[in-house]
Amino acid sequence: MCWIQMITTIFLLSAMMLGGSNAQLSATFYAKTCPNVSTIVRTVLQQAQQNDIWIFPKIVRLHFHDCFVNGCDASLLLNGTNSEKTATPNLSTDGYAVVDDIKTALEKACPRVVSCADILALAAQISVSLGGGPSWKVPLGRRDSPSAHLEGIGGIPSAHDSLVNIAARFKSVGLDSTDLVALSGVHTFGRARCAAFMDRLYNFNNVSGKIDPTLNVTYAKALQQRCPKGGDVTSLIDLDEQTSLTFDNKYFLNLQNRRGLLQSDQELFSTNGAETVTIVNRFASSQKQFFDSFAKAMIKMGNISPLTGSNGQIRLDCRKIN
């Protein structure tokens, strides 16, 4: 074999190997191996919602917190001494038992086929849809991380972050300003602990007695009644005071009225000169534009550093490696 042929052969073999370990995600990934995957996930979620009316936003939050730490690889779900669950941003996450139920149902129907990472991505989409939001085709084919990434927990945006910091976090994973505003719109349903915003009510910018000036005064007083000084900081408050169980665009109307519960949300509208202000106004006036942008942003977020091909594993139990 001549040198040119040898080099060509080596190149082709290398390309094939790389293709096997970095395969692209596809909405039809399980078409032959687990054709009923979406139906199974939907059924479990609908059953879970009968026992927990807040399960849809809880599931979506798990997907968010997983993707922002080393990519969408289900590392968040792992138990253990170095579990991401034990880190401060994840102490208030919930819904793990329902993920287990989905995994159990899928293992019964399609053993050793569907990854926990794909469960999170698909369950998030179905949760949004069941909550009244948009539907989209979820690219699938992720594999599960063989370890947690506690060291990367700082990648999760904080409710106390400034717009500059949050935008930087999103940009670092390939998400732009439209993605940032659209994905923040997930706070149109769900709840947050008092601890996530009490500084806005009593100690804004570390000034004792100061209320965040971007917060509607009437709304601030109502929140002080619900989250009094010295009270239970784990008490839960609706993120959207009007339709907290429905996925709609009311969140953006709240921002326009300075009734965003979290500082990180309100800053999208109240930061002078920020390009996010125009996007908030656009989504407030058109639920369709919000839904379309949210679906696109969720697909982009779901594509953050997935393990594919021969990388990672398909966990049999989402809480532990094989």
Which positions make up the binding site for heme b? 187
- Residue 148 · residue 176 · CB < 8 Å: no
Supply angle C-alpha 239, 244, 247, rounded to 5.
105
Q: Give me the helices (H) in the chain, please.
A: 3-21, 37-49, 55-67, 96-109, 116-130, 163-172, 177-184, 198-202, 217-226, 250-256, 263-270, 276-285, 287-302
Q: What distance in Å separates the CA atoms of residue 36 and residue 39, rounded to the nearest whole number?
A: 5
Binding region: 66, 69, 71, 73, 75, 84, 157, 187-188, 240, 243, 248
| Phi (first) and psi of residue 294, to 5 degrees | -65, -45
Binding region for substrate: 157
Question: Nearest 10 degrees: CA dihedral of 121, 28, 297, 92?
Answer: 0
3-state secondary structure of 320: strand
For the chain, state the CA radius of gyration: 21
At a CB cut-off of 8 Å and minimum separation 6, what does 272 contact? none
Q: What distance in Å separates the CA atoms of residue 220 and residue 259, rounded to the nearest whole number?
A: 8
Query: Alpha carbon of 82 to those of 39, 135, 161: distances in Å?
Result: 34, 35, 25
Q: What distance in Å separates the CA atoms of residue 108 and residue 102, rounded to the nearest whole number?
A: 10
The verdict on whether 65 is a catalytic residue reads yes
116 DSSP 8-state letter: H
**Sign of the dihedral through C-alpha 126, 128, 133, 135:** negative
Chain centre distance of CA 201: 26
63, 65, 149, 160: which is the annotated catalytic residue?
65
3-state secondary structure of 110: coil
Binding region for Ca(2+): 66, 69, 71, 73, 75, 84, 188, 240, 243, 248
- Residues acting as catalytic residues: 65
